[in-house]
């Protein structure tokens, strides 16, 4: 958390969206508040109607009723960036679990980096959309081999293949696309990776991560042996995701150098001066607690890095509750750069 005397040097902070699973409450994503506190992020945890998102193949009420949840995210982004001058539209990041993973992938054009966990898009539409915008986009994907909710080999409308939960298979194409195939499509066609290498391996935890070589943006896939569908509180890489976003925010403008061990961005000079993330912006903070969706009121939780007492209490409380469940292992991650070579502004449009 930033002290009041540091506020004038903040300039701009990363804005991170955290999207919940199908049937989950916003509170299920509260473990991410500690990441916001530790890495000085502005964090938004929106809630879908009937605790669901319409993410093309998944799930529930929002999918059935064709709710425009991509449009809703656009509305929230516009509202937050217009009312909080401490955030920039080209420094927005997204994490999604399960149904939220489907949505953060579908709405990838809103973000500079995405982290889909146990949910992903498996056709070429998203890939082509990003390619058409001629930009690179970092991805840090997580999936378990024994996930029976969203199958590792893909969800498809084929009775001969293993079925996914929650009618996802029935809403999906006839041909399955596995996690690896989808990731490779992204790495090769969006980020132009030339090859892959093992970047991290932990046999005790059953985790192996591979990352792209020669990419225009970081492309990393972590495969778990026995993590199932995770569960928001049991995800083992909170810190690594925070580091992934923080490094990108620090280094993408070319004014900073990120130190993972110290969680500190050292500025090289330029217009950002001694700003917290070495990125330009205004230090004037504004806050918003609610956003109105055209389909009804949607509760919106915004954690801003500030001296607000309620934010401090939340961060301390959830730190105590979930601290023991977080396994910090930074080995191998300091070498993973998330800097894009193509820094183009993200165009957002108003959604009615």
Q: Is residue 272 part of a domain?
A: no
pLDDT at residue 8 greater than cutoff 90:
no
Report the CATH number at residue 152.
3.40.50.1820
Q: Is residue 175 part of a domain?
A: yes
What mean pLDDT is predicted for residues 312-329? Answer: 35
pLDDT at residue 330 greater than cutoff 60:
no
Q: What span, in angstroms and rounded, lies between the C-alpha atoms of 179 and 256? A: 33
Q: How would residue 153 be classed by pLDDT, with cut points 50, 70 and 90?
A: very high
Number of domains in the chain: 1
Q: Is residue 266 part of a domain?
A: no
Q: Is residue 119 part of a domain?
A: yes
The pTM score is 0.80
Structural domain boundaries, residue 303: 4-253+284-325
Q: Is residue 334 part of a domain?
A: no
What mean pLDDT is predicted for residues 167-172? Answer: 93
Q: Is residue 214 part of a domain?
A: yes
pLDDT at residue 82 greater than cutoff 80:
yes
Q: What is the 3-state secondary structure (H, E, C) of the chain?
A: CCCHHHHHHCCCCCEEEEECCCCCCHHHHCCHHHHHHHHCCEEEEECCHHHCCCCCCCCHHHHHCCCCHHHHHHHHHHHHHHHCCCCCCCCEEEEEECHHHHHHHHCHHHCCEEEEECCCCCCCHHHHHHHHCCCCCEEEEEEECCCCCCCCCCCCCCCCCCCCCCCHHHHCCCCCCCHHHHHHHHHHHHCCCCEEEEEEEECCCCEEEEEEECCCCCEEEEEECCCCCCCHHHCCCHHHHHHHHHHHHHHCCCCEEEECCCCEEEECCCCCCCCCCCCCCCCCCCCCCEEEECCEEEEEEEECCCCCHHHHHHHHHHHHHHHHHCCCCCCCCCCCCCCCCCCCCCCCCCCC
pLDDT at residue 174 greater than cutoff 50:
yes
Q: How would residue 131 be classed by pLDDT, with cut points 50, 70 and 90?
A: low
Q: Is residue 274 part of a domain?
A: no
Q: Is residue 95 part of a domain?
A: yes
pLDDT tens digits, residue range 203-222? 999 999 999 999 999 999 99
pLDDT at residue 295 greater than cutoff 70:
no
Q: How would residue 255 be classed by pLDDT, with cut points 50, 70 and 90?
A: confident
- Backbone φ and ψ for 80, nearest 5 degrees, come out as -65, -45
pLDDT of residue 252: 83
Q: How would residue 19 be classed by pLDDT, with cut points 50, 70 and 90?
A: very high
């Amino acid at each position: 958390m930033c002290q009041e005397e540091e506020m004038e040097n903040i300039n701009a902070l990363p804005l991170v969206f955290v999207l919940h699973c199908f049937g989950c409450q916003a509170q299920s994503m509260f473990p991410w508040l500690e990441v916001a506190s530790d890495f000085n992020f502005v964090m938004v945890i929106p809630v879908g109607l009937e605790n669901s998102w319409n993410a093309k193949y998944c799930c529930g009420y929002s999918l059935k009723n064709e709710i425009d949840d991509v449009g809703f995210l656009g509305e929230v982004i516009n509202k937050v960036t217009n009312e909080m001058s401490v955030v920039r539209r080209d420094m927005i990041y997204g994490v999604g679990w399960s149904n939220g993973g489907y949505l953060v992938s579908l709405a990838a054009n809103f973000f500079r980096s995405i982290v889909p966990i146990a949910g992903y898009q498996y056709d070429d539409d998203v890939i082509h959309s990003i390619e058409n915008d001629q930009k690179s986009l970092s991805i840090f994907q997580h999936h378990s081999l024994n996930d029976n909710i969203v199958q590792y080999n893909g969800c498809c409308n084929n009775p001969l293949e293993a079925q996914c939960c929650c009618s996802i298979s029935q809403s999906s194409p006839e041909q399955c696309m596995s996690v690896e195939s989808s990731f490779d499509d992204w790495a090769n066609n969006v980020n132009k990776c030339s090859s892959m290498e093992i970047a991290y391996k932990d046999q005790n935890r059953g985790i192996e991560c591979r990352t792209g070589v020669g990419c225009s943006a970081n492309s990393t896939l972590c495969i778990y042996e026995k993590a199932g569908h995770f569960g928001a509180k049991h995800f083992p890489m909170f810190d690594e995701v925070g580091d992934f976003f923080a490094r990108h925010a620090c280094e993408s403008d070319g004014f900073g150098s990120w130190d993972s061990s110290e969680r500190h961005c050292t500025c090289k000079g330029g217009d950002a001066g001694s700003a917290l993330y070495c990125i330009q912006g205004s230090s004037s903070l504004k806050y918003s607690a609610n956003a109105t969706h055209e389909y009804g009121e949607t509760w919106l939780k915004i954690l801003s890095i500030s001296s607000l007492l309620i934010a401090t209490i939340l961060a301390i409380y959830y730190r105590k509750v979930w601290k023991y469940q977080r396994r910090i292992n930074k080995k191998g991650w300091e070498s993973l750069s998330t800097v894009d070579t193509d820094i183009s502004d993200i165009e957002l449009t108003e959604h009615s």
